[in-house]
Amino acid sequence: MILYDLVNSRKTHFSPNSWRVRLALAHKGLAYEVRDVLFGDIPSINTGGDKLTIPTISHNGRLVTDSWDIVRYLDEALPQTPRLIAPGAEGQVLKFFQFWVQTTIHGGIARLIMRDLHDSLDPADQPYFRASREKMYKQTLEALQAGREERVDAFRKSLQPMRLSLGHGPFISGEQPGYADYLAFGGFQWARVSSPFQLLAEDDVVHAWFERCLDLFDGAGRREAPAV
């Protein structure tokens, strides 16, 4: 199995959508080889076919892109490994949680660290990243990140559903971590390796949960050095 993953100028893996798949692969006990790419390399992964995004995996000669589709594919193709997305309604609720992560966690974090993230990228990727993200957010990266010290409290408040959930166990998924944890983890790991900005207060249960997640699978997340 090959995982195509983005690296920044420090060769650190920062993609939030890849981190959820990395922990899913570890949860399933699957070995894989990582192919480091820059944003500019993504079109060369699949010259003939559809446009891919990161993460993409190659398994038995087949390319699978999109984190949700990758985990579903692994659940189906390797049924002897622990299943991460339940069939039916339960899986649909997990998909809803993915949308919450995308809008509240990724959307909130982007408005706090996007300029730092840009600066952490390989210089070859920076012009593309700036142009595409400024088009997406309809403002400069500097304007997007401005005033973050005053805005971080609102972001922390928006995480209240996680706090309520973590009142029932060490992980969002309960006593043991599951795909909901890996979905949320990806966003915080993205911030951790891309920006020195302190997103979470140290006495927040979300902070304690994130530290627990960094320790999972022999510290797979912690091995990636934080931004300084």
Ligand X SMILES: N[C@@H](CCC(=O)N[C@@H](CS)C(=O)NCC(=O)O)C(=O)O
Interface residues toward ligand X, by CB under 6 A:
6, 15-17, 39, 42, 53-55, 66-67, 132
Which CB atom, from 155 or from 190, has the smaller least distance to ligand X? 190
- Please count the other Cβ atoms lying within 10 Å of the Cβ belonging to residue 74: 24
Nearest distance from C-beta of residue 106 to ligand X, angstroms: 9
Which CB atom, from 132 or from 198, has the smaller least distance to ligand X? 132
CA 54, 38, 76 angle in degrees (round to 5)? 20
- Please count the other Cβ atoms lying within 10 Å of the Cβ belonging to residue 131: 10
Nearest distance from C-beta of residue 149 to ligand X, angstroms: 26
Strands 2-6, 56-59: pairing is: antiparallel
Q: Which residue has the tokens 């840009």?
A: 118
CA 88, 1, 18 angle in degrees (round to 5)? 65
Which CB atom, from 39 or from 137, has the smaller least distance to ligand X? 39
Which CB atom, from 166 or from 224, has the smaller least distance to ligand X? 224
Which CB atom, from 132 or from 160, has the smaller least distance to ligand X? 132
Phi/psi of residue 225, nearest 5 degrees: -70, 140
Nearest distance from C-beta of residue 6 to ligand X, angstroms: 6
Handedness of CA 210, 216, 222, 224 (dihedral sign): negative
Nearest distance from C-beta of residue 109 to ligand X, angstroms: 12
Going across the sheet that includes 2-6, the strands are: 33-37, 2-6, 56-59, 62-65
Structure tokens at 208: 């304690």
Nearest distance from C-beta of residue 153 to ligand X, angstroms: 26
